[in-house]
Structure 1
């Protein structure tokens, strides 16, 4: 089969018309990591007629897949942005959704996603669209984005701007600072052999053991956000890409203050903070998922994200909604 890319093997798995949107599903085989079995599914949403607009890449969080961004009925932020004229790309991380489990699936880490997978996705989208994409990441998707930028794996021609929604690495779990607790946690995680989204009631997908062990290391005594030879947290100070952080008073998993702290670590000249909640003038205190998936988000949050993507800033006159 002829590849859809000059960069590495890419297969077009399907090209469908979903109501008023086109849905093209690609499978990328970058061959850029030690695990040569890695393949990544990337879905492209657009309108049947008209020129493709600005490319936007949407990264799902843990226990999730492409359906976080658009449902089979064409509802979701991804579909909303496609109807607004954006060229929408939705990758699925290794072993999620249409991306098959790679040979070393249980050893997958954020470090692998950031070092190998996001640059491959960016290269492909730039090749197909001819311009640097905007990125939006939710939860772990935003953490992966921060790791890729802080680690120096994505640069400005691969990321015109980034929005991190409900993403943070600063919440402290004090028991994990005790080495015996960390050792016990590693033992239990290895006995579990991975994290089941359905069993834990967290979402439709599972997460590999490697991601859980990596997070445990970040929060342990003397742990840090990064790899042994690469300090991602420190590297964020060298990032110049415009960045938006979204936090919410109703997000008890990734609290608003921690989302803001991640934003403040960036060295970018343009840094904006969107604080959701009743105290900030919104209709509700959006939860971790509800900040992007709810009728309230559709009315109040999606238009703000669209404005950010179009103008690189939040709308004027938002007052307390936007604070650098």
Structure 2
């Protein structure tokens, strides 16, 4: 295992950890909200054992990183943390292309980065794997809409949301969660500067694999996950709904899609095979 500390353009530092063989196809994995790279360890170790060179990284204020004194949103994570991580990984790997895997908010941040850096995304990403990542469909039902409105009001004047058994082991920026609520309530994935992310992603032609859990009805309903994936315009976009009806071992929830024992034998091999094929095509 190798640790690399990387400065960001706005004065923070993020920690990258590399596992796996030195010359394996490069895979980058990051976490979602209220979480850290430790949530990706099971997937990272699985991919490393399959021969991939795996980089895990924590967003600012999470996991191995120092705490931060001010809040941030997913655009901050994309434009600074993801951008700095990918630049350093490219340097460490001597320019080799990589596959990026993002769970939940990590997948959203990766999509934002690709939308804002389409040429770099096409030059350096052999593929993008989105695990339970969506921005538009969490408020699709009346009850869900009322719940998200209530949550949005509850966090309105807060700066930080503390960790708990209900949401996850790490504290999170309230501004980030307000942004997620805003996107879903409006069913509009638009940046603070007015960038229409789906329209911008239509210019990004990279392979995309999106997975959603059939039991994930609150945070990442499958229709939102599929919509984010289909925003990419390339010919190689695949969506999988992971549940018993499709032959999976269970109806996966938001967290179990990434962290369960069943996922290791049921979901991870499909991801590894997809990466192996795209990495070979990119050679």
CA deviations over 1:82-110 (Å, ceiling 9, x no partner) = 11111100110010011112343x2x111
> What is residue 179 of structure 2 aligned with on the other side?
214
Residue from 137, 142, 155 that aligns with 1:189: 155
Contact 2:138 2:220 in 1 (8 A): no
Contact 2:159 2:175 in 1 (8 A): no
> What is residue 74 of structure 2 aligned with on the other side?
110
Instruction: Show the 5 A alignment for 1:32-51.
Output: 32-33=9-10, 36=11, 38-47=12-21, 51=22
> What is residue 58 of structure 1 aligned with on the other side?
29
Give me the whole-angstrom Cα distance separating, in 2, the residues matched to 1:209 and 1:68.
Answer: 21
Contact 1:156 1:241 in 2 (8 A): yes
Q: CA deviation at 1:288?
A: 1.1
SS of residue paired to 2:172 = coil
Give me the whole-angstrom Cα distance separating, in 2, the residues matched to 1:291 and 1:186.
Answer: 26
Contact 1:176 1:221 in 2 (8 A): no
SS of residue paired to 1:25 = strand
Give me the whole-angstrom Cα distance separating, in 1, the residues matched to 2:43 and 2:192.
Answer: 32
CA deviations over 1:269-313 (Å, ceiling 9, x no partner) = 210112211111122111111112222111111111110110029
Contact 1:149 1:236 in 2 (8 A): yes
Instruction: Show the 5 A alignment for 1:173-188.
Output: 173=139, 188=154
Contact 2:137 2:187 in 1 (8 A): no
Contact 1:27 1:99 in 2 (8 A): no
Is 2:263 the partner of 1:292? no
State the superposition RMSD in angstroms: 2.4
Higher radius of gyration, 1 or 2: 1
Residue from 193, 216, 220 that aligns with 1:228: 193
- In structure 2, the CA distance between the partners of 1:235 and 1:176, relative to structure 1 (3 Å rule), is farther
> What is residue 317 of structure 1 aligned with on the other side?
none
Contact 2:212 2:222 in 1 (8 A): yes
> What is residue 101 of structure 1 aligned with on the other side?
67
Q: CA deviation at 1:135?
A: 0.6
Contact 1:197 1:203 in 2 (8 A): yes
CA deviations over 1:227-276 (Å, ceiling 9, x no partner) = 22322221111110110110121112312222111111111121011221
Contact 2:135 2:187 in 1 (8 A): no
> What is residue 133 of structure 1 aligned with on the other side?
98
> What is residue 87 of structure 1 aligned with on the other side?
53
> What is residue 245 of structure 1 aligned with on the other side?
210
SS of residue paired to 1:89 = strand
CA deviations over 1:16-72 (Å, ceiling 9, x no partner) = xxxxxxx11221113x23xx2x1101111124xxx42111000101111111122xx
- In structure 2, the CA distance between the partners of 1:78 and 1:203, relative to structure 1 (3 Å rule), is same
- What TM-score results when the alignment is normalised by the length of structure 2? 0.88
Q: Normalized per residue, which structure has more helix?
A: 2
Give me the whole-angstrom Cα distance separating, in 1, the residues matched to 2:227 and 2:273.
Answer: 23
Contact 1:177 1:221 in 2 (8 A): no
Give me the whole-angstrom Cα distance separating, in 2, the residues matched to 1:53 and 1:157.
Answer: 19
- In structure 2, the CA distance between the partners of 1:217 and 1:175, relative to structure 1 (3 Å rule), is farther
- What TM-score results when the alignment is normalised by the length of structure 1? 0.77
**Which structure is higher in RCO with an 8 Å CA cutoff and minimum separation 6?**
2
> What is residue 28 of structure 1 aligned with on the other side?
6
Give me the whole-angstrom Cα distance separating, in 1, the residues matched to 2:144 and 2:247.
Answer: 37
